[in-house]
């Protein structure tokens, strides 16, 4: 293709030919491709040409708008020249294997050739899970070289079980230390510090694996976690270990210690120190929630595949303006999407905790979250939880379709105070205290006009009342009919008795073991008030002391603390605590571990590139290295019989009017002379431009008169050039 425009000029026809041949030979339609690894050099003309050609080919094949992620590894590692295509191929193969759509860094505004409303392509600025079955993951990789040597390869993922992990290096690592008492755990911390101080080529995750092995062995002896650390570097680990050995604790720094009076949390019975799972409901959802966990632990993606119809809304591409961000938030706030999307991430989070030995003695959910709690307790299969989630949302929206959907408002008052104002205002029949969230937080719900009056009356009574942006009047008599429709959907699903107690919003008591009673309770809950305060009090009375918020945000953690006040308890949000993503998750595990929960951390290292420094054999340092075309010893010196780097020498350059033996140059000699002359002019021009830009004097080479335009030929008598030095003879 370079014959048309030049060696480096992109030619759409050549790129199109490479694309169409590749997809024809692969027997794949571009419309089925989910990821494109573009050549993407970042040049204005090159990127515009490549994006326009890809858009044309994919659109003609019937690709839907926003159906394919596009990016380039060059944004992360730069242009590797002749290895650029190989780098893109490696990246794409790993993306297919792990089920991840990789990010393209530094994208603030896409190329002008991209039309966000119609283009088949979207951009990701952070890694996102690829929510399709492995056999359905298809990607294309482009590599365009000098002269129009255009290549495109089509790849499909191999249909196999997902890997345990997709990342070897994590932003932080978790360290847990067990013992019969606090001093025994401190001795373990000192032992790791001594191992760390021996030095070596070991990484943070290697020391974490060593600690996990010893901790899990101690768990088999019945020892509890007394100290837990979350470190982000070897230096940070050493400092935390020193502080831990001295008996300190500093949760903000990632240093957690158990209270010696804390009793171990167990999986059954009602004793002090029980672990309770809490599942947040509608209102906690947001685009991208818990994405980093789905990326780091590919096994969780089976839940995304069960809920594939909501995955694109759950993990949308990058938005480049406020309007785009607002649109993404609005789509996931829609009741029809928010409830099943929450179900996907909460089921996955509970499964991840269970794989690490974290299982609750009891559970509850707020509003919609109650359905997920029953699913985690085994009353419903994961697929049925998502099916029921969609049916629940549909029943609610159908109930208010074509009429007044109603609204809700948050009031800073007790439920009794709110109900008294409603009663004296004659509004008690229309407006109800729908969510009794905390002693000083009550949410009212009802038809729009009576709600406006209720808010005014409550403010007149001296209470703060804030209208909420909601789809309808949840948990009010307006939705009473939705329960009947939801009951019909539940009738066709298999329901079992819960494996552990799941506490009901409606009754503030555990669900009965009878499957029919479970169905009836779920249906009735839609139109009944959420008695969250009474529910938490009842769970506390039943022995719950550790409340883990299994889902996005930390709304329920704050409410629990507001309900229980100064009474002994611990709230542990998986997301939104000490950081988000992996950092937040590992910090939550640390808190659970020192709260008496039997966290087993060995699973965190299965399938990761991590070794135990105590037993592993250190790799021998390489005796020599290859640096480009040069071979060097480990100390950086070059063997005497090896090629040495070029060094400057003074050598005559062919003059501008060079002629052999006085005759005019012709044929090959003339071509060589012309090449040398034009190369000399190019280097001189670049030198002058750089010196001028840097403010230095512009040197005028010998033979070049002052004021002569750069476009005119230059004559040099000599120049400094780099020439290789022959290796020394033996």
Q: List pLDDT tens digits, range 354-386.
A: 999 999 999 999 999 999 999 999 999 999 999
Q: List pLDDT tens digits, range 5-34.
A: 666 778 888 899 999 999 999 999 999 999
Query: Look-up: residue for tokens 């030619």?
Result: 11
Q: Are strands 35-37 and 68-71 parallel, antiparallel or unpaired?
A: parallel
**Is 70 exceeded by the pLDDT of residue 471?**
yes
Nearest of 140, 28, 158 to residue 85 by alpha carbon? 140
Give me the pLDDT at residue 629, please: 60
DSSP letter for each residue of 656-689: TT--GGGSPP-THHHHHHHHHHHHHHHHHHHHHH
Per DSSP, what are the bridge partners of residue 173? Answer: 231
| Higher-scoring residue by pLDDT: 149, 277 | 277
**What is the model's pTM?**
0.84
Give me the pLDDT at residue 618, please: 76
DSSP letter for each residue of 356-399: TT---SEEEESTTHHHHHHHHTTSS-HHHHHHHHHHHHHHHHHH
- What does the domain layout of the chain look like in residue ranges? 2-156, 274-400+472-579+587-595, 406-470, 643-723
**Is 60 exceeded by the pLDDT of residue 279?**
yes
Asked whether the domain spanning 274-400+472-579+587-595 has the same topology as the one spanning 2-156, the reply is no
Least confident of 25-29, 127-131, 696-700: 696-700
Mean pLDDT over each residue of the chain, to the nearest integer: 88
**Is 50 exceeded by the pLDDT of residue 717?**
no
**Is 60 exceeded by the pLDDT of residue 659?**
no
Structure letter (DSSP) for residue 177: E
Q: How many helices (H) and strands (E) does the chain have?
A: 23, 23
SS3 content of the chain, % helix, strand, coil (to 5): 45, 15, 40
Can you read off the two tokens belonging to residue 518? 């479970």
Q: By three-state DSSP, how is residue 649 classified? A: strand
**Is 60 exceeded by the pLDDT of residue 701?**
no
**Is 80 exceeded by the pLDDT of residue 555?**
yes
The confidence band for 621, taking pLDDT boundaries of 50, 70 and 90, is low
Q: List pLDDT tens digits, range 682-695.
A: 787 777 777 776 76
Tell me if 556 sits within 8 A of 437, measured CB to CB. no
Find the angle CA(341)-CA(342)-CA(344) to the nearest 5 degrees. Answer: 65
Give me the pLDDT at residue 445, please: 96
Backbone angles phi, psi at 174, to 5 degrees: -105, 135
**Is 70 exceeded by the pLDDT of residue 147?**
yes
DSSP H or E segment with residue 129: strand 128-129
Question: Residue range 147-174: average pLDDT?
Answer: 93
Give me the pLDDT at residue 234, please: 97
- For 203, residues 6+ apart whose C-beta sits below 8 A from its C-beta are 169, 234, 610
634, 636, 670 from 625: Cα distances, Å: 7, 8, 42
Nearest of 346, 382, 386 to residue 363 by alpha carbon? 346
CB atoms within 10 A of CB 676: 17
Q: CA-CA distance, 679 to 340, in Å (whole number)? A: 65
Least confident of 211-225, 248-262, 464-478, 529-543: 248-262
| Higher-scoring residue by pLDDT: 697, 675 | 675
Q: CA-CA distance, 417 to 464, in Å (whole number)? A: 12
The confidence band for 666, taking pLDDT boundaries of 50, 70 and 90, is low
406-470: CATH superfamily: Malonyl-CoA ACP transacylase, ACP-binding (3.30.70.250)
The confidence band for 494, taking pLDDT boundaries of 50, 70 and 90, is very high
Question: Residue range 208-230: average pLDDT?
Answer: 96
- Chain-centre distance for alpha carbon 28: 29
Q: CA-CA distance, 230 to 583, in Å (whole number)? A: 8
Q: CA-CA distance, 238 to 196, in Å (whole number)? A: 7
Nearest of 31, 19, 36 to residue 61 by alpha carbon? 31
Question: Residue range 144-157: average pLDDT?
Answer: 89
Structure letter (DSSP) for residue 38: -
Query: 2-156: which CATH topology?
Result: Peroxisomal Thiolase; Chain A, domain 1 (3.40.47)
- For 93, residues 6+ apart whose C-beta sits below 8 A from its C-beta are 155
Can you read off the two tokens belonging to residue 387? 């099916």
Q: List pLDDT tens digits, range 33-80.
A: 999 999 998 888 889 999 999 999 999 999 999 999 999 999 999 888
Question: Residue range 505-529: average pLDDT?
Answer: 96
Find the angle CA(470)-CA(521)-CA(405) to the nearest 5 degrees. Answer: 25
CATH class, range 274-400+472-579+587-595: alpha beta
CB atoms within 10 A of CB 641: 10
Question: Residue range 629-641: average pLDDT?
Answer: 76
Can you read off the two tokens belonging to residue 78? 């730069």
Q: Are strands 465-468 and 441-446 parallel, antiparallel or unpaired?
A: unpaired
CA dihedral 648, 652, 657, 660 (to 10 degrees): -140
Describe the strand order of the beta sheet including 121-122 as a list of residue ranges: 121-122, 68-71, 35-37, 138-145, 149-156
């Amino acid at each position: 293709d370079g014959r048309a425009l030049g060696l480096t000029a992109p030619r759409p026809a050549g790129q199109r030919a490479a694309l169409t041949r590749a997809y024809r030979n692969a027997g794949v339609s571009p419309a089925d491709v989910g990821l494109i690894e573009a050549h993407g050099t970042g040049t204005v003309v090159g990127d515009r040409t490549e994006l326009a050609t890809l858009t044309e080919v994919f659109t003609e094949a019937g690709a839907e708008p926003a159906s394919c992620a596009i990016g380039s590894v060059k944004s992360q590692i730069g242009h590797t020249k002749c290895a650029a295509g190989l780098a893109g191929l490696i990246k794409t193969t790993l993306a297919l294997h792990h089920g991840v759509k990789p990010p393209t860094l530094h994208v603030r505004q896409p190329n002008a050739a991209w039309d966000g409303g119609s283009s088949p392509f979207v951009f990701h600025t952070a890694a996102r899970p690829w929510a399709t079955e492995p056999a359905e993951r298809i990607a294309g990789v482009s590599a365009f070289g000098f002269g129009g040597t255009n290549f495109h390869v089509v790849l499909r993922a191999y249909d196999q079980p997902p890997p345990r992990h997709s990342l070897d290096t994590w932003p932080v690592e978790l360290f847990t230390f067990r013992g019969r008492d606090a001093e025994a755990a401190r001795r373990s911390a000192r032992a790791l510090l001594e191992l760390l101080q021996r030095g070596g080529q070991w990484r943070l995750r290697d020391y974490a694996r060593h600690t996990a092995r010893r901790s899990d062995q101690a768990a088999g002896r019945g020892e509890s976690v007394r100290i837990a650390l979350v470190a982000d570097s070897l230096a940070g680990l050493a400092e935390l270990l020193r502080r831990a050995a001295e008996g300190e604790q500093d949760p903000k720094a990632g240093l957690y210690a158990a209270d010696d009076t804390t009793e171990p949390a167990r999986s059954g019975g009602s004793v002090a120190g029980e672990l309770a799972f809490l599942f947040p409901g509608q209102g906690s959802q947001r685009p991208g929630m818990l994405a980093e966990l789905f990326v780091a632990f590919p096994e969780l993606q089976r839940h995304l595949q069960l809920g594939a119809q909501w995955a694109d809304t759950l993990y949308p591409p990058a938005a480049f303006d406020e309007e785009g961000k607002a649109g993404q938030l609005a789509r996931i706030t829609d009741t029809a999407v928010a409830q099943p999307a929450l179900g996907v991430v909460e089921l996955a989070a509970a499964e991840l905790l269970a794989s690490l030995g974290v299982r609750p003695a009891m559970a509850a959910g707020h509003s919609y979250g109650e359905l997920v709690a029953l699913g985690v307790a085994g009353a419903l299969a994961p697929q049925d939880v998502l099916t029921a989630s969609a049916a629940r949302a549909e029943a609610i929206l159908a109930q208010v379709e074509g009429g007044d959907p109603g609204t809700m408002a948050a009031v800073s008052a007790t439920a009794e105070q709110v109900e008294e104002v409603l009663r004296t205002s004659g509004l008690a029949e229309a407006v109800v205290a729908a969510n009794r969230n905390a002693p000083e937080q009550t949410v009212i719900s009802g038809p729009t006009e009576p709600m406006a009056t209720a808010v005014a009356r409550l403010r007149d009574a001296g209470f703060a009342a804030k209208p909420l942006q909601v789809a309808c009047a949840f948990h009010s008599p307006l939705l009473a009919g939705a329960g009947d429709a939801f009951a019909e959907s539940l009738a066709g699903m298999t329901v079992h008795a819960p494996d552990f107690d799941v506490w009901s919003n409606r009754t503030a008591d555990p669900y009965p073991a009878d499957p029919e009673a479970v169905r009836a309770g779920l249906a009735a809950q839609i139109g009944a008030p959420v008695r969250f305060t009474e529910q938490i009090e009842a769970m506390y009375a039943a022995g719950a002391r550790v409340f883990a918020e299994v889902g996005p945000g930390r709304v329920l953690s704050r409410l629990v603390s507001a309900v229980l006040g100064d009474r002994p308890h611990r709230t542990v949000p998986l997301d939104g605590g000490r950081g988000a993503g992996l950092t937040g998750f590992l910090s939550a595990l640390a808190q659970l571990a020192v709260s008496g929960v039997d966290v087993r951390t060995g699973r965190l290292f299965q399938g990761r590139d991590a070794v135990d420094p105590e037993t592993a054999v250190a790799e021998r340092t390489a005796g020599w290295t290859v640096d480009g075309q040069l071979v060097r010893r480990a100390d950086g010196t070059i063997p005497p019989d090896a090629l040495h780097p070029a060094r400057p020498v003074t050598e005559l350059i062919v003059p501008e009017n060079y002629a052999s033996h006085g005759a005019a140059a012709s044929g090959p000699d003339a071509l060589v002379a012309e090449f040398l002359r034009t190369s000399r002019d190019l280097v001189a021009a670049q030198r002058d431009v750089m010196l001028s830009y840097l403010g230095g004097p512009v040197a005028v080479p010998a033979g070049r008169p002052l004021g002569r335009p750069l476009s005119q030929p230059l004559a040099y008598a000599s120049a400094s050039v780099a020439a290789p030095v022959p290796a020394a003879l033996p």
